[in-house]
Amino acid sequence: MTEMGRPLQGSSLLSPPPRVHTGKCQNCGYPLELYEMDVKQSMKVMRCDHCGLLHYYKKDIVGKWRLQRATKYELVR
């Protein structure tokens, strides 16, 4: 219990923020989740949970995210 008498479990401070999906997969149509973000190069990588396809987005001159390419994720040793 906190000082105000409320349990912390119901508090919004402890719950994780909701995932924001900004697009759909080019392959299967499932929503994408943020995989990696590079602020310096204005690039982000979104990953499909269903098929594992990586979608590479880049900011254009207007400030909108544009899809550059979609590739399958492969492990490189």
For the stretch 18-76, pLDDT in tens is 666 678 888 888 899 998 899 899 999 999 988 889 999 999 999 899 999 999 876 55
Cβ–Cβ < 8 Å for 66, 58: yes
Residue 2 clears pLDDT 70, i.e. is over it: no
Specify the pLDDT at position 26.
Answer: 86
pLDDT at position 10, please?
Answer: 52
pTM, to two decimals: 0.67
Sketch the domain layout of the chain as residue ranges: 19-72
Identify the H or E element spanning 67.
strand 65-72
